[in-house]
Structure 1
Amino acid sequence: MKTLYVSDLDGTLLNSDEVLSSYTRKTINELVEEKGMIFSYATARSFITASKATKGLDAKLPLIVYNGSIIVENETKKILMSNFFKKIEVEEIKSLLIAAGVHPIVYSFINDKEYYRYIRKDITEGAVKYLNTRQGDIRDNPAETEKELYDGNIFYFTCIDKEEQLKLLYEKLKDNYYCVFHKDIYTHEHWLEIMPKTVSKANAIKQLKEYLGCDYVVAFGDAKNDIEMFEYVDECYAVSNATSELKKIATGIIDSNNEDGVAKWLYQRFHKLK
């Protein structure tokens, strides 16, 4: 049976310092290269920020980023699959954002290059702080006008604002788009992420499973936004630091993200198989 193993990143594969431990990095590289493990991670992060957090994970892996909007090859950086908004959808989201007084960070491809754009004078203090952590990022491309902000093939909107504003916007958008409304586990800022309706970790895993010709999927996670992924896969394991909602539907509970729970489980699984 050809099995695909998929892990969430933050709070699951990454430790509390937002990096891979040397044990986790070494174990996954060896299992992929020596045992033929088919492994991916699924994250809301971009490929660039996910790559920084997983530095040293050099094995040939297809990676699910932007909550499933993009699937990219780790070694070659080749985009295997992508999901963009239709122009009519961009216009609808744009009008709702303007009406709500919410100013987004807009992710798009322009002439086959990835950018994130925003109008600096309009964005919130929380968004500024977030962008300041991304200084030097080659995708950073501030817009001067609203027209520039919405150029290109858009695949992702990030809004960092007051909880009340984002919650109202979420209620208006959730039926037609894939939306994630949450509080960031590191900064405690409120976020609303907006993606095409077809986008989710679960759907990206389904696409990847078919692309790779796998028969079975095992997933690992920690948060409420991993529930849909857990409901889709064949086996699912929650780290001990996971939310109670996720633990309730998990196949089992494993060690925490700070105890290399995923890597230890994978090591034991592959050595039992052999």
Structure 2
Amino acid sequence: MKTLYVSDLDGTLLSRDAHVSDFSKVAINQLVKRGMSFSYATARSLTSASIVSNGIATTTPVIIYNGVFIIDPGTCKILNSTMFSGQEAAKAASIFTENQIYPLVYAFVDGKECVTWLKGSENAGMLHYMNSRSGDKRFRSVNHVMDLFEGEIFYLTAIGERSQLESINEQFSIDQNYRCILQRELNREEYWFEVMPQQASKAEAIVRLKQLLGFDKVIAFGDGLNDLPMFEISDEAYAVDNAVLELKKQATGVIASNDQDGVARWLLANFKP
């Protein structure tokens, strides 16, 4: 039976300092050499995910932006993508601007991947996020709202207080064209409100990857609410000990925490070529 092992990154495979430990790297690489098909599914971009997962040698396609893209990690070729239509992007822009909330807009602008923000709209959460990715060439600022939503948009993220974001979440959630996630940032006070095309999710991407490469079985690992759909479509799903309670309730089992190399230790104990 051909099995795909897929892990979330932040809070799951990554330790609290947002890196993969040397122990996990060595363990996973040894198992990949023995034939394990290992991938990750993350809300991060390929650039960001590649930095934090540096040292893990997998040739299996990876899932980024919560399922918007399936990427070949070796060639960086997009194998599958889910984008907003022009109408969907325009409506999303209207909802945000009417509420005077100006998100980070992820889009291809003139063929280049960009993360655009409105100059002057930065809050503490946005600044923390951008500073944590210092040197990321995707970031660009614009001076006018009309320029914020240009390009082929595939992902939108607003960072701020929960009360402010709950209202806009309700407006998006009644439209079946959008998939929304509202959750607190890991180890931070602010909340993130993420908007994606309806067909974009870790679960949908895993199903497509499973079909693309002919996997028979999926075993998943996660820690957050956005991992729930992934757990639902997996044959087995394991929550790290630091995971939210809702995910633990849906899990096949609970393993050691991210700071205790829970994913790698489970794989070492259970993978059979």
TM-score of the superposed pair, with normalisation by structure 1 = 0.95
Give the Å deviation of 1:198: 0.6
How big is each residue's C-alpha offset from its partner over 1:86-113, in whole Å with a ceiling of 9 and x where there is no partner?
1111111111111111011100112332
- Asked whether the 8 Å contact 1:120–1:142 carries over to 2, the reply is yes
- CA displacement at 1:125 relative to structure 2: 3.1
For 2:152 and 2:51, the matched residues in 1 are separated by 25
- Report the counterpart of residue 246 of structure 1 in structure 2: 247
**Structure 1 residue runs without a partner (length 5+):** none
Q: CA deviation at 1:185?
A: 1.0
Question: What corresponds to 1:52 in structure 2?
Answer: 51
**SS at 2:229's partner residue?**
helix
Q: 1:100 aligns to what?
A: 99
Rounded Cα–Cα distance in structure 2 between residues aligned with 1:71 and 1:233: 17
Is the contact between residue 105 and residue 117 of structure 1 (CA under 8 Å) also seen in structure 2?
yes
Match of residue 225 from structure 1: 226
Distance in structure 1 (CA, Å) of the matches to 2:132 and 2:243: 26
- TM-aligned CA distance change 1:112 to 1:37, over 3 Å: farther
CA–CA distance in structure 2, aligned partners of residues 57 and 16 of structure 1? 18
Stretch moving more, 200-209 or 73-82: 73-82
> Relative to structure 2, which stretch is displaced further, 259-268 or 141-150?
141-150
Map of 1:6 onto structure 2: 6
**TM (normalized to structure 2)?**
0.95
Paired with 1:139 and 1:58, the residues of 2 have a C-alpha distance of 25
- Counterpart in 2 of 1:169? 168
Indicate if the aligned counterparts of 2:108 and 2:152 stay in contact, CA closer than 8 A: yes
* Structure 1 contact 100–165 (Cα < 8 Å) conserved: no
The residue aligned with 2:268 is 267
Question: Which letter maps to 2:2?
Answer: K
Equivalents in 2 of 1:175, 1:68: separation in Å?
Answer: 21
Q: List per-residue Cα deviations over 1:96-143 (Å, max 9, x = no partner).
A: 111111011100112332111111212323212321222211111212
Contact residue 223 and residue 243 of structure 2 kept, 8 A: yes
| Amino acid paired to 1:185 | L
Determine the C-alpha separation between the residues in 2 that align with 1:260 and 1:133: 23
State the identity as a percent: 45
Indicate the SS of the match to 2:92. Answer: helix
Residue aligned with 1:187, SS = coil
Q: Does 1:153 align with 2:184?
A: no
After TM superposition, the structure 1 = structure 2 runs for residues 191-230 of structure 1, keeping only pairs within 5 Å, are 191-230=192-231
Q: Secondary structure at the match of 2:139?
A: coil
Structure 2 CA distance for aligned equivalents of residues 178 and 206 of structure 1:
17
Q: Partner residue of 2:28?
A: 28
SS in 1 for 2:74: coil
Give the CA deviation at 1:189: 1.2
CA contact (8 A) 2:183 2:225 kept: no
Counterpart Cα distance in 2 of 1:185 and 1:225 = 13
Alignment: residue pair count: 271
Seen in structure 2, the aligned counterparts of structure 1 residues 161 and 241 have a Cα distance that, compared at 3 Å, is closer
Shift in Å at residue 16 of structure 1? 0.9
Write the distance in 2 (CA, Å) between the matches of 1:165 and 1:224. 20
Residue of structure 1 equivalent to 2:41 = 42
Is 1:104–1:123's contact at 8 Å kept on the other side of the alignment? no
Q: For residues 251 and 161 of structure 2, what CA distance do their matches in structure 1 show?
A: 32
Q: Does the residue aligned with 1:118 lie in a helix, a strand or coil?
A: strand
Match of 2:111 in 1: 112
SS in 2 for 1:265: helix
With over 3 angstroms needed to count, the CA separation of the structure-2 counterparts of 1:6 and 1:175, relative to structure 1, is farther
Q: SS state of the match for residue 169, structure 1?
A: helix
SS in 2 for 1:142: strand
RMSD of equivalent CA atoms: 1.4
Q: Does 1:178 align with 2:179?
A: yes
Secondary structure, aligned partner of 1:155: strand
Q: Name structure 2 gaps, 5 residues minimum.
A: none
Taking a change above 3 Å as real, the CA distance of residues 65 and 268 of structure 1, as seen in their structure-2 partners, is: same
